[in-house]
Chain A
Amino acid sequence: MSIRKFSSVIGLGFLLISLRLYQLQIIQGNKFYQLSKANSIRIIALKGARGKILDRKGEVIVDNQFSYELMAYPQAIENVDDFLKKLASVLGISFSSLKKTYQAQAIQSSLPITLVKDLDKEKAIILEELKSEFPQIVIQSVPKRFYPYGRLASHIIGYIGLIDRWRLDKWKDYGYSIQDTVGYGGIEERYDYYLKPDNGGIQLEIDSYGRLRRILGFKKPINGKDITLTIDLRVQKIVEEVLKDYSGAVVIIQPHTGEIIALASSPNFSPFEISNPSVLKDLLSDPTSPLVNRAISGLYSPGSVFKVVVADSALENKRIDEKTTFFCDGSLKIGNRQFGCWEKHGNQNLFWAIVHSCDIFFYKVGLSLGADKINEYALKFGLGKLTHIDLPEEKAGFVPHPLLRKLEKRQAWFDGDTANFAIGQGELLTTPLQIVRMISVFANGGKLVRPYIVKAIAGKDISLKQRKILSLGIPEKFLKIINRAMEAVVKDPEGTAHLLYIPDLSIAGKTGTAQVSKKQPHAWFAGFFPVENPSYSICVILEHAGSSTNACLVTKKIIERMKEEGIL
């Protein structure tokens, strides 16, 4: 192999490049020089519409409407101040704010600058008539998010805004650019890649008078893909109307599949108004944190709702059976601390302990199980870890463990901690979504489902991809024992949720109150219905609502309204 052979191949490559350079710079050089001097390439962006968001029946939750935008070509403007002053007087807005918008976007001279978004129709017409005076501007109709139900499902949807630096850096290679609108929170964020339209545009060459010489290229804008949710809009509406007066969250899922039927967090926000920066600022500093989706990122102690997990653990580990009884005289001394029950229940077996939500019974069961086992079962039922729902900002929560405490905090674990753990108080922290999935295990015969909210993308059903169902291997007889007790919680006049009894509908569930230091406790209800063939699991939490009665009332209102509207 000779050097001559290879170097001539390489030389040929460089010769080719040189010839092309000669063609561009020498032969066509003057043409390109004129083009570069006149900056005569203009671009008109044609924006596509973002994908719509639909409920499971195809009802539109988030839609698009057209609005007008006023744009200007910077390279056509000779004196920016004069131009903006003239424009400001026509539009009746302040010159300084117009200048600010202009300067913020004056990055690439060939790209048009958006001066006014949401231009009134009248003003658009006036400007269109004055076109000869303003050759530098163009008015475009641009699709814009429209929310037909206002604040409804705001936490599920999220909102949209201009792309931030962080996202831009990350997504640049996926075709995101500096003036793009992207989703923040909810479906808008998580499924932005699909919802995002593919913007098109026209590239023009103009002469020195600004007249069109020829069109260099055209690209058709393509609308984003529609997203179909598992949400039932009718149920979502009911839930939000009932929840409106409280601070808290409600989640309803299909217990066999994990489809989210309704998911609400209160207080909520308006995805429309949030595009106004001052509204966003207020929301961010609001002490009630309306932007937080409490259903998936709110962390609460589950309280007595957790007892059903402890009950299953005790049955599976043969610490108790159906007939085991413990005596409740209203208080129990553990270590040197006195632990109370909220009533003197007398002799209690598992059935009655769940119906009455007797603390003493569960203190004793918990102590015989030990904290390790309770920890194991809490994790088994999916508490304290992510459910991997397809929404952003999900929180994991926390399940305590004696060893973990020793390692991390260098503190000892006492029997009193075990007792507290067994009734769902103390360090145990869960999200309402975890609780509804936990209660679904009892509704669906022992399976832990992965909750999900998107059913189809662009009409293509992705349910099978979304479903992840894990069998926990709980013997059916144990589930039956606990379910019978949970049914009696509602049906039996002594049950803690008897308030929620509805004659011709069988509901099973468990109440809970989560102690909060110095404030009223949180109220819980988690359950499923109809018991014979469960099609809904529900979890309600009301922050600082006192006893669980309020949670039962909210649940009752929701179920009654569902019946009225013929959903059940």
Chain B
Amino acid sequence: MKNYNPIIFSLTLFISFLGVITIYSTRYPSTSINEIPLYLRQIIWIILGLVFLLFIYRWNAVRLWDIAYIIYVVTLVLLILVDILGHIRLGAQRWLKILWFNFQPSELAKLASIIILSRYFSHYSLRFSGRSKLNFKRGIIIPFLWVAPMIFLILQQPDLGTALMIFFIYLSIVYFAGVKRKYIVILLIILVFLSPLLWHFLKDYQKERLLVFLNPDKDPLGAGYTVTQSKIAIGSGRFLGKGWLSGTQGQLRFLPEAHTDFIFSSFSEEWGFLGSLLLLILYYLLIFYSLKIALATNEYFERLLAWGIVSMFFIQIFINLSMTLGMAPVVGLPLIFFSYGGSSIVVSFLSLGILMNINKKR
């Protein structure tokens, strides 16, 4: 296998750099004096992410197989903790305060679900022609039971976007592990029939967001407003963009979440179609080379792991961009390596570190 590490590493750093300058721009001119500016904080997060990356890169990703259960249990405990703390005062809560920063266990849960599912399916590796043993129970139900508690707890937080992400990760790993297409289709059909029931699990505001997507006029002040403003921001960028520090939608605070979930709109407003296309190409290359790593690995566990991470990257980028462009409901997912947010940045770099570690052992 070729060494793809330098290329995916530099792509990621470049994307993160674009993220930092966009965060700087959305907060420009800076109003708060007392706090550390957000772009500086983001740089600190990136550095912390790189430390994690280095750590896992020098380690051995196969060892994740040994500690998969530990990671799983720790993630569940953290999610339960968030849930309990959220219940104490009615309030929603996605993060735990650890020392001086807020940590979102739901971000970790994405990686944990990749690790646990990879470990599970690595039993049925190709070499022992174990795929034939993957019937509906072993191929669909049991792996679903592994991720179901995480999905349930994250829905409670309530964080629809991440819960959906974990479900998509599950689907893609099930697919890659070679479970018969027929079974996956059956699962999807079952879910369609169960969807009225699942609807009840959603919080009111989540239902509303989904309905708003179907009919944006329904909530002109909330999600509908955000999407309108996001579209105005992106569209007004035209071909060349308004230029760095010149985007009005983000800076004048017309656009909510301009530095987190909707950061792409802020970027697109300032850098136009050309800049946006460049960013899309960067993301495409990142995923393309990561995919090459996944497919070139012979070790089955690592292969699944790499595949899970690639699909996580792709699905999340795709959902986030579709949502900012008004093509999907607003579910609240950050743009990886780009949006402001410590947990997302750290977990994304950690995932990249696993990929690079796998690629290291050609």
Q: CB within 8 Å of B: which residues of A?
A: 1, 3, 6-7, 10-11, 13-14, 16-18, 20-22, 24-26, 28-33, 35-37, 39, 41, 43, 45, 107-110, 167, 170-175, 192-193, 199-203, 216-219
With a cutoff of 8 Å between Cβ atoms, the chain A residues found around residue B224 in the complex are 203, 217
Known A36-B249, A43-B225: A21·B236 in contact at CB below 8 Å: no
With a cutoff of 8 Å between Cβ atoms, the chain A residues found around residue B220 in the complex are 43, 201-203, 216-219
Question: Are B92 and A217 neighbours in the complex by a CB distance under 8 Å?
Answer: no
With a cutoff of 8 Å between Cβ atoms, the chain B residues found around residue A6 in the complex are 291, 295
Question: Are A216 and B321 neighbours in the complex by a CB distance under 8 Å?
Answer: no
With a cutoff of 8 Å between Cβ atoms, the chain A residues found around residue B269 in the complex are 36
Question: Are B228 and A203 neighbours in the complex by a CB distance under 8 Å?
Answer: yes
Question: Are B236 and A29 neighbours in the complex by a CB distance under 8 Å?
Answer: yes
Q: Which partner residue on chain A sits nearest B280 by CB separation?
A: A14
Known A10-B291, A29-B236: A39·B225 in contact at CB below 8 Å: no
Cα A39 to Cα B252 in complex, Å, equals 10
With a cutoff of 8 Å between Cβ atoms, the chain A residues found around residue B288 in the complex are 7, 10
Stretch at the interface among B38-46, B58-66, B127-135, B271-279: B271-279
With a cutoff of 8 Å between Cβ atoms, the chain B residues found around residue A110 in the complex are 229, 254
Instruction: Count residues on chain B whose CB falls below 8 Å from chain A CBs.
Output: 57
Question: Are A41 and B318 neighbours in the complex by a CB distance under 8 Å?
Answer: no
Known A201-B220, A216-B228: A18·B254 in contact at CB below 8 Å: no
- 14 contacting pairs across A/B (C-beta < 8 A): A3-B291, A18-B280, A25-B276, A32-B234, A36-B235, A36-B236, A36-B248, A43-B221, A108-B254, A171-B91, A174-B92, A175-B205, A192-B90, A217-B218
Asked if B199 lies at the interface with its beta carbon under 8 angstroms from chain A, I say: no
With a cutoff of 8 Å between Cβ atoms, the chain A residues found around residue B239 in the complex are 25-26, 29
Cα A382 to Cα B111 in complex, Å, equals 46
Known A25-B273, A35-B236, A219-B219: A173·B158 in contact at CB below 8 Å: yes
Q: CB within 8 Å of A: which residues of B?
A: 89-94, 157-158, 176, 203-205, 216-222, 224-225, 228-229, 231-239, 248-249, 252-254, 268-269, 272-273, 276-277, 280, 283-284, 287-288, 291-292, 295, 314, 318, 321-322, 325, 327
Question: Are A13 and B318 neighbours in the complex by a CB distance under 8 Å?
Answer: yes
With a cutoff of 8 Å between Cβ atoms, the chain A residues found around residue B314 in the complex are 10, 13
Known A171-B92, A199-B221, A216-B217: A32·B277 in contact at CB below 8 Å: no
Known A25-B239, A217-B220: A17·B254 in contact at CB below 8 Å: no
Cα A29 to Cα B234 in complex, Å, equals 8
Question: Are A33 and B238 neighbours in the complex by a CB distance under 8 Å?
Answer: yes
Q: Which of B91, B234, B273 contacts A170 (CB 8 A)?
A: B91
Question: Are A193 and B90 neighbours in the complex by a CB distance under 8 Å?
Answer: yes
Cα A28 to Cα B231 in complex, Å, equals 10
- The smallest C-beta distance from A463 to any residue of chain B, in angstroms, reads 21
8 nearest CB pairs, A to B? A32-B235, A217-B220, A203-B220, A170-B91, A173-B92, A36-B236, A29-B238, A217-B217
Q: Which partner residue on chain B sits nearest A2 by CB separation?
A: B295
Q: Which of A17, A32, A107, A201 contacts B236 (CB 8 A)?
A: A32
Question: Are A24 and B325 neighbours in the complex by a CB distance under 8 Å?
Answer: yes
Cα A16 to Cα B319 in complex, Å, equals 12
With a cutoff of 8 Å between Cβ atoms, the chain A residues found around residue B252 in the complex are 39, 109
Question: Are B295 and A170 neighbours in the complex by a CB distance under 8 Å?
Answer: no
With a cutoff of 8 Å between Cβ atoms, the chain B residues found around residue A107 in the complex are 253
With a cutoff of 8 Å between Cβ atoms, the chain B residues found around residue A13 in the complex are 314, 318
Question: Are B235 and A108 neighbours in the complex by a CB distance under 8 Å?
Answer: no
Of A22, A32, A107, chain B has the most CB atoms within 10 Å of the CB of A32
Cα A477 to Cα B352 in complex, Å, equals 73
- The smallest C-beta distance from A37 to any residue of chain B, in angstroms, reads 8
Question: Are A17 and B318 neighbours in the complex by a CB distance under 8 Å?
Answer: yes
Q: Which partner residue on chain B sits nearest A106 by CB separation?
A: B253
Cα A562 to Cα B158 in complex, Å, equals 48
- The smallest C-beta distance from A457 to any residue of chain B, in angstroms, reads 14
Q: Which partner residue on chain A sits nearest B288 by CB separation?
A: A7
Question: Are B253 and A17 neighbours in the complex by a CB distance under 8 Å?
Answer: no
Known A10-B314, A20-B327, A36-B233: A26·B287 in contact at CB below 8 Å: no
With a cutoff of 8 Å between Cβ atoms, the chain A residues found around residue B268 in the complex are 21, 25
Q: Which of B94, B232, B292 contacts A41 (CB 8 A)?
A: B232
Cα A107 to Cα B258 in complex, Å, equals 14
Cα A68 to Cα B3 in complex, Å, equals 69
